[in-house]
Amino acid sequence: MPLDTPPGYYSFNEDSVCAFLDSLPDIRTRLGGKPADWRVVEVGDGNLNLVFLIDGPEGSVCLKQALPYVRAAGESWPLPLDRAFFEQAYYRAVASSVEGLTPRFYHYEPALYAIVMEKLSPHIILRRGLIEGRRYPKVAADVGDYAARAIFATSDLGATIEEKAEWSSVFARNTSLLRITAEVVFTDPLGNSPRNRWTSPALDDLAREFRADSALKTTVADWGWRFLTEGQALIHGDLHTGSVMVTETDTRVMDPEFAILGPIGFDVGAFLANLVMNFFAQPGHATAADDRREQADWVLDQVPVFWNAFATRFRSLWETKARGDAYPPAMFGAGDAAALDAARTKFLDRVFADAVAYAGVKTIRRILGFAHNADFETIADPAKRAPLETKSIRLARQFLLEPASFRTAEDIVAAARAV
Amino acid sequence: MPLDTPPGYYSFNEDSVCAFLDSLPDIRTRLGGKPADWRVVEVGDGNLNLVFLIDGPEGSVCLKQALPYVRAAGESWPLPLDRAFFEQAYYRAVASSVEGLTPRFYHYEPALYAIVMEKLSPHIILRRGLIEGRRYPKVAADVGDYAARAIFATSDLGATIEEKAEWSSVFARNTSLLRITAEVVFTDPLGNSPRNRWTSPALDDLAREFRADSALKTTVADWGWRFLTEGQALIHGDLHTGSVMVTETDTRVMDPEFAILGPIGFDVGAFLANLVMNFFAQPGHATAADDRREQADWVLDQVPVFWNAFATRFRSLWETKARGDAYPPAMFGAGDAAALDAARTKFLDRVFADAVAYAGVKTIRRILGFAHNADFETIADPAKRAPLETKSIRLARQFLLEPASFRTAEDIVAAARAV
């Protein structure tokens, strides 16, 4: 390792990963046979980590290991290994609340910053499926349900002060990834970061216009403050369509290494934003056989499906499982039922408003910032890509500067169609 | 000790405190002479701790030690000793920002949960001074200045993500006192807690009316959620007039054991509320020689003095010392100056609105909840006390349910006079 790593750490290759898994009796049993019988393939797709898929005669596992640098950027951008610790800590924190909606967790090896978990098959990444024109009837409702369950259980509605304090204390230390989010999502895209890129020259004028928009910049900064300060629940922190694996009948949320105590709307807005961006990108993936209009409509219709699933589950958990110190049941009696119901509605309206704003921030960063997403990036022709990105980022600006226009998920659908 | 305490812990008496201080060379030197020459008096006034004042031939110190129970309630209400740890951790975190405005910190003894610090003399507690009809020309501006400095330095404006994470991680564990605040400030007073008390029977109807006010209860719960989730800065957590010691020329803020990462408005609102309560209490302390009208006016006038000192200092620090990750300087250029200035104004307006609401919550709890304050409690005659408490709590209700009426500190002054 050219970079400083803790004693005992080494990065796996196909051979050493088998030797390691052979040392874990439960995993050896799960795979069956001997290491020589195991097939190993490394599939980490160039972001932050090594990802091995291991198949044995009787079963399979996935091993994810943190590297001491940002894989997408190379060794010139070092990154602490401890993100693997936070990823497994998140899985453990939410496991009992979201059973069946994450990969099963098998083992964490602290010294190697390696997580052994269920190999999902034949799942593919949701973003890829949507780009390929596939539909997943359950996914929007499943992710909404997932977000509601994970968030409620770790909020001051579903957890006690003492339980939440434990997570606060642990996840406060996930500063490396928090800094990445703060910089690449909030600070850089409208600042003058050398890491920024965009479809050039087509969007040069738009980039200049956005970076000169002082009202937009201070609004993004307002939301940056809220992102850094509103520890409403243990959030996933990166809940986009690339963090979800799917089949037509199964949905799993993964890659929670950005987990922090943060605003609920940040997770909700991430998924919203990525559905909307995929909607705008669809014409860029049209073929002679499929103009993608129906696919685009279907994707956009998932916005209210997702939000309604989230809101319905969240409200139902609040009504039946409140055991935290916010809105404490001890404070209310039968005579307060109507007011409490109204307070819940207002609460969810605030989450929705937050989500719309964070969706705006996250869209801007995918078009003008460092990390773009495949929905647009896989449209090879810039002349096709640029106008679709332009539509998407114009709506994002509306999300941030015209919040009163977005009271319901249907408002988002209507506005996206109207762009 | 009848309660479980950690090995090595014992609670001090006049003799053992001298033996202990004699074992600390710096303190022994500061006091001068020998333990036999030292005068010791215990002055803890019945809340949570033992407080010894020790005078030697050459100097003096104060020793504050946590007891394993709530002193005001007795051993039936156990309370972890670690609050002394959080108190000294807070002093250390803000020391360089608020020099001269806290007692000087000399020593912390972890196993005994004891803090040795400057003995303030001839200072008295601000609340007592105000009740006695004294005026302190500097105090409101000093406390405003103190709050701005301590809060700015520990917020995402004045500290980096990594610095704030350290405080978040440590103070997240201050759960015993956070639970006390959550319960006695937010949950209990409008709930049906057996710990509640009020001036009875005079305020029985009012207490019943307030506890049946569903809109008020859900509003208090909204602010309880925000109190538990908005980690905007390391706040004092109990910044009332009983936490300030004064002379006419010197101001010191003390007793920060409730420190947490919390909303800025909670500290600001605490001080506001306690000024306003003292204003309402003044006629109850009238004598033949002094009707206290001028004193009441003077106290109320300190509300804008305090707020303006806070806002002016906070804005000036933001303009000159911004080094955090919220509203990062890297994001803005010369062309953004006007927008950033407007964003700062909006930010301070939000802090003020939060402060007004928390002032409402904190007033209600002092009149209907467990812990009352001396401003009203020392009015011996309930027939005098009850109408003054009624005025104060009616204004508190306006703070919470008519927020649009309170845009400036002068609005508070006018509304208080109008009650």
Q: Which residues of B, range 148-177, sit inside 8 Å of A by Cβ?
A: 155-156, 161-162, 164-165, 168-170, 172-173, 175
Per-residue pLDDT, B1: 42
Q: Please indicate, yes or no, whether residues A19 and A168 belong to a single structural domain of this protein.
A: no
Are B148 and B318 in contact, with CB atoms under 8 Å apart? Answer: no
Q: Please indicate, yes or no, whether residues A106 and A192 belong to a single structural domain of this protein.
A: no
Report helix angle A293-321 to A264-281, nearest 10. Answer: 170
Per-residue pLDDT, A70: 78
Residue type at B273 in one-letter notation: A
Residue A382 lies in a domain: yes
Q: Answer with the one of B84, B118, B152 that is the final residue of a domain.
A: B118
Beta carbons of A161 and B175 less than 8 Å apart = yes
Q: Which residues of A, range 194-213, sit inside 8 Å of B by Cβ?
A: 212
Q: Please indicate, yes or no, whether residues A341 and A197 belong to a single structural domain of this protein.
A: yes
Q: Please indicate, yes or no, whether residues B61 and B133 belong to a single structural domain of this protein.
A: no
Are B3 and B75 in contact, with CB atoms under 8 Å apart? Answer: yes
Here the tokens at position A369 are 């910032």
Q: Which residues of B touch A191 (CB under 8 A)?
A: 328, 330-332
Q: Please indicate, yes or no, whether residues B114 and B134 belong to a single structural domain of this protein.
A: no
What would the pLDDT profile of B101-128 be if each residue is shown by its tens digit? 999 999 999 999 999 999 999 999 999 9
**Whether the bond into B122 is cis, omega within 30 of 0:** yes
Q: Tell me the pTM.
A: 0.97
Residue-by-residue pLDDT tens, chain A, 419 positions: 456 788 999 999 999 999 999 999 999 999 999 999 999 999 987 667 999 999 999 999 999 999 998 777 777 788 899 999 999 999 999 999 999 999 999 999 999 999 999 999 999 999 999 999 999 999 999 999 999 999 999 999 999 999 999 999 999 999 999 999 999 999 999 998 999 999 999 999 999 999 999 999 999 999 999 999 999 999 999 999 999 999 999 999 999 999 999 999 999 999 999 999 999 999 999 999 999 999 999 999 999 999 999 999 999 999 999 999 999 999 999 999 999 999 999 999 999 999 999 999 999 999 999 999 999 999 999 999 999 999 999 999 999 999 999 999 999 999 999 99
User: Nearest CA to CA, how far is A191 from chain B (Å)?
Assistant: 4
Q: Please indicate, yes or no, whether residues B143 and B192 belong to a single structural domain of this protein.
A: yes
Q: Answer with the one of B118, B135, B169 that is the final residue of a domain.
A: B118
Residue A409 lies in a domain: yes
State the Cα–Cα distance between residues A177 and A187, nearest whole angstrom.
14
State the Cα–Cα distance between residues B328 and A167, nearest whole angstrom.
27
State the Cα–Cα distance between residues B48 and B10, nearest whole angstrom.
16
State the Cα–Cα distance between residues A168 and B314, nearest whole angstrom.
27
Are B204 and A326 in contact, with CB atoms under 8 Å apart? Answer: no
Here the tokens at position A292 are 């993608």
Residue A1 lies in a domain: no
Residue B7 lies in a domain: no
Residue B2 lies in a domain: no
Residue B378 lies in a domain: yes
Q: Please indicate, yes or no, whether residues B139 and B245 belong to a single structural domain of this protein.
A: yes
Count of domains forming chain B: 2
CATH number of the domain to which A223 belongs: 3.90.1200.10
Residue B24's Cβ-count burial label (10 Å; 0-12, 13-18, 19+) is: middle
Beta carbons of B217 and A332 less than 8 Å apart = yes
Nearest CA in chain A to B233: A229
Q: Please indicate, yes or no, whether residues B83 and B196 belong to a single structural domain of this protein.
A: no
Neighbours of B382 (CB within 10 A): 14
Beta carbons of B182 and A169 less than 8 Å apart = no
Per-residue pLDDT, B192: 86
Residue B5 lies in a domain: no
Q: Please indicate, yes or no, whether residues A84 and A222 belong to a single structural domain of this protein.
A: no
ipTM of the complex: 0.96
Report helix angle A139-153 to A264-281, nearest 10. Answer: 160
Distance of CA B55 to the CA centre of its chain: 27
* Type and span of the H or E element at B309: helix B293-321
State the Cα–Cα distance between residues A167 and A93, nearest whole angstrom.
8
Q: Please indicate, yes or no, whether residues B255 and B373 belong to a single structural domain of this protein.
A: yes
Q: Please indicate, yes or no, whether residues B29 and B163 belong to a single structural domain of this protein.
A: no
Per-residue pLDDT, A3: 62
Q: Answer with the one of B68, B90, B118 that is the final residue of a domain.
A: B118
Beta carbons of A230 and B228 less than 8 Å apart = no
Nearest CA in chain B to A179: B161
Per-residue pLDDT, B46: 62
Per-residue pLDDT, A353: 98
Q: Does A405 touch chain B (CB under 8 A)?
A: no
Per-residue pLDDT, A264: 99
Residue type at A32 in one-letter notation: G
Residue A40 lies in a domain: yes
Among B263, B80, B93, B78, which Cα is nearest to B170's? B93
Count the helices and strands in chain A (H runs, E runs). Answer: 15, 12
Distance of CA B277 to the CA centre of its chain: 14
Q: Which residues of A, range 90-129, sit inside 8 Å of B by Cβ?
A: none
Here the tokens at position A101 are 């909606």
Are B379 and B284 in contact, with CB atoms under 8 Å apart? Answer: yes
Here the tokens at position B149 are 């400095």
Q: Which residues of B touch A326 (CB under 8 A)?
A: 221, 224-225, 228-229
CATH number of the domain to which B20 belongs: 3.30.200.20
Q: Which residue has the tokens 């019988």?
A: A37
Q: Does A249 touch chain B (CB under 8 A)?
A: no
**Starting from the edge strand earliest in sequence, which strands make up the sheet with B49-55, in order?**
B39-42, B49-55, B60-66, B114-118, B105-109
Q: Please indicate, yes or no, whether residues B109 and B129 belong to a single structural domain of this protein.
A: no
Q: Which residues of A touch B161 (CB under 8 A)?
A: 175, 178-179, 182, 228
Beta carbons of A331 and B161 less than 8 Å apart = no
State the Cα–Cα distance between residues A392 and A412, nearest whole angstrom.
12
Average confidence (pLDDT) per 10 residues, chain B, 419 residues = 78 96 98 97 83 98 92 79 96 97 97 97 97 98 98 98 98 97 97 95 98 98 98 98 98 97 98 98 97 98 98 98 97 97 98 98 98 97 98 98 98 97
Interface test with B, best of A85, A160, A161 (most B CBs within 10 A): A161
Per-residue pLDDT, B69: 84
- Its domain, for residue B66, covers 14-118
- Compute CA distances B403 → A229, B158, B263, whole Å: 23, 29, 17
CA atoms within 13 A of residue A25's CA, in its CB half-sphere: 0
